[in-house]
Amino acid sequence: MTERLTETRAGIALGPLTQIPDGTARNYVLKIGDAYFHGFIVRQGKDVFGYVDACPHAGLPLAQELDQYLTSTGDLIMCSWHAALFKINDGACVGGPCAGAKLKPWNVIVQGGALYTA
């Protein structure tokens, strides 16, 4: 079984910010050595919020469909397995089986219109 990482080093280029339309999220899988990192980024205007793609309830990736991390209204992150709901700005669970837990942050930044790990 391949190791699954929960953090990345700073300075990895992830591509242009424009590849994440405002109000949506995008999945990222990075191969680092022999291991993989799974994360996602939510964009709200010029702000980006990155998280490790693992629900604190069961450890599963949050989205069953590629890039489908947000509720239909786009105001919360949702685990599609057990309907846990998380605030976009800090990953705090506000409903569902992991109430009180948080998503693990993934530090990302925007520089010159491009996304990078921080």
Domain range summary for the chain, segments of one domain joined by +? 4-117
**Domain 4-117: assigned CATH number:** 2.102.10.10
d(CA 19, CA 80): 23
Interval 20-66: pLDDT, tens: 999 999 999 999 999 999 999 999 999 999 999 999 998 899 999 99
pTM: 0.96
d(CA 45, CA 60): 28
Whole-number percent of the chain with pLDDT over 90: 92
